[in-house]
Structure 1
Amino acid sequence: AGETFGFEADATHHFFAEAINATGVRVFRASAGTDMSRQLLPLALKSLTRAQEHLLVLGRQNAIERVAAFLVEISERQGELRQVELPMSRIDIGDYLGLTIETVSRVFTRLKEKGVIRLLSLRSVEILRWDTLLAMGE
């Protein structure tokens, strides 16, 4: 919820979005002469910041750091809850983080063994040690 995408610098669509659960899409079209820059600029900047952070995760972090950063991001998007519902499967998490499903599963197991998280189900994780997870994801 609340994701914004589709900001393009020209007439070509360079990116796509893939829904991972039930999704509604709202299209905003500005009529000629309408200045929506004050409303759109904060949304565009937030989207750009998230994209930059994701590139840093993919480019600089090892597998544990990537999964930790992912869990922190999901928790923050869900209101910084300690029990988070994963919106995607392990294979989709791997695709998002540039990891194999086996690596994602091993990292979840390692985080569980270290007492950082508790796996409540395949799609539900309880964060037991928030500060540790946050430090691991930086």
Structure 2
Amino acid sequence: MTLDACLLVGLGGAVGGASRFMVSDAVGHWWGTRFPWGTLVVNVTGALIIGMVVGLARVYAGAFGSPQIHDLIITGLLGGYTTVSSFCLQTINLVLDQQTGLAFLNVIASTTLCLAAVAIGYFGGSWVASYGA
């Protein structure tokens, strides 16, 4: 990885993270926070945007297909905005490559393992914190 690539990913990640915060917060104010509407909107819009950028890159290989655009927008901006966009893109790529079994496995494994990891982390952290209190 080059210094230029690191700078592009860092710049995109900073903008993406700030964008995630602003969009999620705004949606929470509009629709409430009882259900994670803000996160859902961020994840869906991130998936939509990454699909559009990659779709454009497949048709218009020029600017959209450049490594710099990939580093800045896909890895940096959308990686900072939401990682679910990467997961969705990888799943669609498996389907496009006629690897539907692997695509299904990716959906089931990612959803199950990530939910389990959040639960383990949450309860493990709570347990550790309870001994420090």
Q: Write 1 or 2 for the structure with the bigger share of strand.
A: 1
- The answer to whether TM tops 0.5 is no
Which TM-score applies when normalising by structure 2? 0.28
Q: Write 1 or 2 for the structure with the bigger share of helix.
A: 2
Which structure has more relative contact order (CA 8 Å, sep 6+)? It is 2
